[in-house]
A = this chain, B = another copy of it.
Amino acid sequence: MSGAIRFTPIGLLRSGHTLAEETPIQPVYAQGAWGRAEVFPEYAEGLQDIESFSHVFLIYHLHLAAPAGLIVKPFLQDRERGVFATCHPGRPNAIGMSLVALLRREGHVLHLDGADFIDGTPLLDIKPYAARFHRIDRPRSGWHEEVDEQEAVRRGRRAP
């Protein structure tokens, strides 16, 4: 058994979302929603070359999420699923991951499209999306395949 593991934010995520219930559930349903990753200046050097990638993974602390138990209802479907078979924010470790479009870098700030995170979210890591590592051509997407795309868009936007 291992003990607690400690991480320290490398920056903050900024967006126009202040209410969880009006925040889109994934970047794909947040197109046109601006966001910024404001990396603390002491980590800025680590952003070098990132602007040559069109997409990045943000790894962050779901700082407002309440634990939801091990069985949850995903936002896209009214059926209970194991939490690890979903991206539900109420997870045993409140770690969020968003695959966003990187529009440009201005010094220690990344300008993003597809913000699906609440303003002020603590950022833990950034990893580039590399086609050779992250593009799976014909995945089986489990229960997602039961949800048609129109329904997914309608639920996923969570527009007020």
A residues apposed to B, CB below 8 Å: 1-10, 12, 26-28, 39-40, 43, 45-50, 52-57, 59, 61, 63, 70-71, 81-87, 91-95, 97, 99, 122, 124-137, 139-144, 149, 152
Majority secondary structure, A binding face: mixed
- Can you identify 16 A-B contacts, CB atoms within 8 angstroms? A1-B9, A2-B61, A5-B124, A28-B132, A43-B70, A46-B85, A46-B92, A49-B85, A52-B142, A53-B85, A54-B141, A55-B140, A84-B128, A99-B136, A130-B144, A134-B134
- Specify which of B48, B95, B126, B139 is in contact with A55 (CB 8 Å cutoff): B139
B52 touches A140 (CB 8 A): yes
**CA A22 – CA B122 in complex, angstroms?**
34
A54 touches B139 (CB 8 A): yes
B141 touches A61 (CB 8 A): no
A46-B28 CB under 8 A given contacts A7-B95, A99-B136 = no
Residues of B within 8 Å of A63, CB to CB, are 2, 5
**CA A57 – CA B87 in complex, angstroms?**
11
A124 touches B95 (CB 8 A): yes
